């Protein structure tokens, strides 16, 4: 049993189905990928930003290497677009040779890039190289003219974190796993020092092995089993999203500014494209009290512009189409906590999965599988494991011929619902009736991109709601934005008019 349908829980569940179909994922929300796994920067980091020797650094480097193999058969795109680390006069704090400008410039030009290369080599990151000023501007014409030198890291990759998570859950399901949505674990049954199962808001479920992959709530779930002893302090990160033209015109790949010898709460962020081609700017790092705090204020938006204005001046502000925030799950030690409990046999914590959790997911799943096999999960691969997850083709991904073929196969592909992202009625219907069904607006958006374009659902929102209502035989007023109580409609206008006479 896996508690939590994020990228970590779904990666573990899919890995286990290679050996046994007896797996269940419990997720408290109405969809998988509805926690931090839907609200991050989608980068498969190389591990260069992590402290040498930590568990997250090792699993990041290993996970990055595994990505091509990891996504094979899932029908999910993965691209190594690389990262350009730009060294500027700000890359060393003032206290380092602040009064000796000539020496300082020399250090920035010669020493800093070498230190970055050395650090990459120690961590096992292949292919990093120093790039001169001219090459920097050839690669990224819009970065600050104060750039001194750069380091290119070719291993950095991009993946859609929510599409990946949904695909992993679906791949697990076609190989025998079950996913229970809207099912919150409220207690863990432990008898005689052994885990027996869990209590949920829909009843009790027994299981001899329970994996805690509950993201920011992993400390609470661990406490339910008496297997805690660590605390997660939620840290919010806000990001701006720009429309696709801005990405291609303004920033071509991922760009970050090097900052050495400063204490940071995150890797520092920068400008990075998504796999679908939108540019992102961010994220911030703000300690919050509430694990559900995914708010974003005007002040935070301004802070992002201020923070990255130096690295990427003249940023086209008017091209922002959305802002979002996600909550990281750091522990006091700022490292991943992965291991079986000493006090509740069969209970395994996979906690503290802050960034680079997405990049590390393949290696985390492999590490957890080994732990589970020690606890009794079979170690012989199953002959019946299906390596390919069936995926409906999206209209927008096809060339002209492919689109014509899709329309011939299903006339509803001839009806465009979301103009910005070219999403058709058939795409929406396929999402609603998918292996993990999309039952609300955001779930449809994550699978099809309806509402992710420049108008952000202004045109297609009501159409998607009507299709959900039609396909799921429910009144349109019951359609939600994101499950639970996130109702879109207060009621029918005529009823309100009747009420007030
Ligand atoms: C702003 C930001 C940017 C980031 N950028 C990157 C990046 O570029 N690259 C990278 O590698 N990492 C990045 N990360 C980190 C990455 O997003 C996380 O490491 C990863 O998503 C964690 O996945 P998870 O499955 O552990 O957590 P989640 O996705 O949160 O999944 C946990 C699930 O458990 C469920 N759950 C919780 N409690 C219960 C319960 N009691 N019962 C049932 N279900 C429960 C939740 O609803 C949730 O769906 C970023 C994070 C943030 C916030």
| Per-residue pLDDT at 210 | 98
Distance 258 CA to ligand 1 centre (A): 26
Report the alpha-carbon distance of residue 147 to residue 133 in Å, rounded.
7
Distance 351 CA to ligand 1 centre (A): 10
Query: Which ligand 1 atom minimizes the distance to the CA of 239?
Result: 1
Mean pLDDT, rounded, for 424-453: 97
Mutation to probe ligand 1, out of 214, 254, 281, 365 (largest number of atoms < 8 A from CB) = 214
Mean pLDDT, rounded, for 83-92: 94
Q: Which residues line ligand 1 (CB under 6 A)?
A: 3-9, 26-29, 34-37, 39-43, 45, 184-185, 213-215, 217, 221, 237, 239, 283, 326-328, 353-359
Distance 477 CA to ligand 1 centre (A): 30
Strand 178-180 to 24-26 pairing: parallel
Torsion of Cα atoms, 470 then 471 then 473 then 475, to 10°: -40
Residue ID of nearest Cα to ligand 1 atom 26: 215
Report the alpha-carbon distance of residue 469 to residue 475 in Å, rounded.
6
Q: How confident is the model at residue 286 (pLDDT cuts 50, 70, 90)?
A: very high
Phi, psi of 160 (to 5 degrees): -85, 115
Q: How far is CA 262 from CA 70, 94, 267, 271, 466, in A?
A: 34, 11, 11, 20, 52
Question: Residue 318 pLDDT > 90, yes or no?
Answer: no
Looking at every residue in the chain, the average pLDDT score rounds to 95
Distance 222 CA to ligand 1 centre (A): 16
Residue 433 bears catalytic tag: no
pLDDT in tens, 72-87: 999 999 999 999 999 9
pTM confidence score: 0.97
The DSSP-derived string for 196-250 is EEEEETTEEEE-S-EEE--GGGHHHHHHHTT-----B--EEEEEEEE-HHHHHHH
pLDDT in tens, 185-233: 999 999 999 999 999 999 999 999 999 999 999 999 999 999 999 999 9
**Higher-scoring residue by pLDDT: 243, 381:** 381
Which two three-digit tokens encode residue 273? 């494209």
Query: Which ligand 1 atom minimizes the distance to the CA of 327?
Result: 53
Q: 442-474 burial string, b = 16+ CB within 10 Å, else e?
A: bbbbbbbbbbbbbebbebbbebbbebbeebeee
Q: Which residues pair with 240 in a beta bridge?
A: 281, 323
Task: Give the residue from 154, 198, 156 showing the smallest Cα distance to 180.
Answer: 198
Mutation to probe ligand 1, out of 28, 36, 307 (largest number of atoms < 8 A from CB) = 36
Report the alpha-carbon distance of residue 439 to residue 465 in Å, rounded.
10
pLDDT in tens, 106-155: 899 999 999 999 999 999 999 999 999 999 999 999 999 999 999 999 99
pLDDT in tens, 268-282: 789 999 999 999 999
Q: From the centroid of its chain, how far is CA 482?
A: 17
Mutation to probe ligand 1, out of 32, 35, 237 (largest number of atoms < 8 A from CB) = 35
Distance 232 CA to ligand 1 centre (A): 13
Residue ID of nearest Cα to ligand 1 atom 33: 4
| Per-residue pLDDT at 52 | 95
| Per-residue pLDDT at 267 | 66
Distance 36 CA to ligand 1 centre (A): 3
The number of CA neighbours under 13 Å toward the Cβ of 416 is 9
């Amino acid at each position: 049993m896996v508690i939590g349908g994020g990228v970590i829980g779904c990666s573990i569940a899919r890995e286990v189905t290679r050996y046994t179909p007896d797996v269940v994922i419990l997720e408290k929300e109405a969809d998988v990928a509805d926690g931090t796994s839907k609200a991050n920067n989608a980068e498969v980091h190389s591990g260069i930003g992590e402290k040498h020797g930590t568990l997250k650094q090792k699993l990041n480097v290993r996970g990055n290497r595994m990505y091509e193999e990891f996504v094979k058969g899932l029908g999910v795109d993965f691209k190594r677009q690389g990262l350009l680390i730009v060294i500027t006069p700000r890359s060393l704090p003032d206290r380092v040779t602040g009064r000796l400008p000539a020496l300082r410039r020399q250090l920035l030009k010669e020493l800093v890039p070498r230190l970055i290369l050395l650090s990459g080599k120690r961590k096992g990151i292949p292919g990093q190289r120093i790039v001169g000023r001219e090459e920097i501007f050839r690669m990224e014409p819009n970065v600050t003219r104060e750039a001194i030198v750069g380091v290119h890291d070719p291993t950095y990759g991009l993946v859609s974190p929510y599409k990946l998570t949904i695909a992993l859950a679906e791949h697990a399901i076609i190989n025998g796993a079950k996913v229970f949505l809207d099912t919150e674990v409220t207690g863990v049954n432990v008898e005689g020092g052994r885990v027996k199962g869990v209590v949920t808001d829909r009843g009790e479920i027994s299981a001899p092995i329970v994996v805690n992959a509950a993201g920011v709530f992993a400390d609470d779930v661990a406490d339910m089993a008496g297997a805690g002893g660590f605390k997660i302090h939620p840290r919010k990160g806000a990001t701006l999203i720009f429309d696709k033209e801005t990405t291609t015109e303004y920033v071509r790949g991922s760009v970050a500014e090097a900052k050495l010898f400063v204490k940071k709460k995150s890797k520092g962020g920068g400008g990075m494209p998504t796999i679908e081609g939108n540019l992102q700017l961010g994220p911030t790092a703000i300690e919050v009290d509430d694990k559900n705090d995914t708010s974003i204020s005007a002040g935070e938006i301004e802070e992002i512009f201020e923070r990255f204005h130096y690295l990427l001046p003249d940023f086209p502000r008017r091209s922002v189409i959305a802002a979002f925030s996600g909550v990281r799950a750091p522990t006091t030690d700022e490292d991943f906590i992965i291991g079986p409990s000493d006090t509740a046999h069969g209970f395994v914590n996979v906690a503290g999965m802050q960034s680079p959790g997405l990049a590390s997911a393949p290696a985390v799943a492999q590490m957890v599988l080994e732990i589970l096999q020690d606890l009794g999960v079979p170690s012989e691969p199953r002959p019946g494991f299906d390596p390919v997850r069936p995926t409906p083709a999206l209209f927008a991904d096809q060339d002209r011929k492919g689109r014509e073929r899709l329309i011939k196969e299903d006339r509803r592909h001839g009806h465009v619902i979301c103009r910005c992202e070219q999403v058709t009625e058939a795409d929406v219907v396929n999402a609603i009736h998918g292996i993990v069904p999309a039952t609300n607006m955001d779930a449809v958006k994550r699978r099809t991109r309806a509402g992710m374009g420049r108008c952000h659902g202004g045109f297609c929102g009501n159409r998607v709601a009507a299709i959900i209502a039609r396909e799921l035989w429910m009144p349109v007023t019951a359609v939600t934005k994101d499950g639970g109580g996130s109702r879109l409609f207060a009621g029918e206008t005529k009823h309100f008019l009747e009420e007030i006479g």
